[in-house]
Amino acid sequence: MKKDIHPSNYRLVVFQDLSCGESFLTHSCVNSKDTITWEDGNEYPLVKLEISNKSHPFFTGKMKFVDTAGRIDKFNKKFAKFAKKKTQSEEKVSE
């Protein structure tokens, strides 16, 4: 195994899944500005996750409904002013 390629600043870190509220404590070297007091009374760095094995459909067996149509409409409305309008000559070329 190669020497001196792994980080040396491993410490205990709490990872929190924001979609279901689950948290777990493990060793990591990820940087974080947030901290949290864990069940043992000690304060640890906090890393917020959008998805983990506690909320991912593959692991839970449950599908979570996502309002993709609403997000697409919101995106289109937000960026409609930047859309380039087709001229009549461009429409004829596309036909």
What does the DSSP assignment read for 12-72?
A: EEEEEETTT--EEEEEE----SEEEE-TTS-EEEEEEES--TTT-HHHH--PPP--HHHHH
Q: What is the number of domains present in the chain?
A: 1
Question: Does 87 fall in a domain?
Answer: no
Q: Quick one: which of 80, 15, 17 has its CA closest to 52?
A: 17
Span 46-70, mean pLDDT? 69
Please write the tens of the pLDDT for every residue from 5-49. 888 889 999 999 887 788 999 999 999 999 999 999 999 999 998
Q: Which domain holds residue 22?
A: 11-81
d(CA 51, CA 17): 6
Mean pLDDT of the chain: 79
Question: Does 72 fall in a domain?
Answer: yes
Question: Does 2 fall in a domain?
Answer: no
Question: Does 5 fall in a domain?
Answer: no
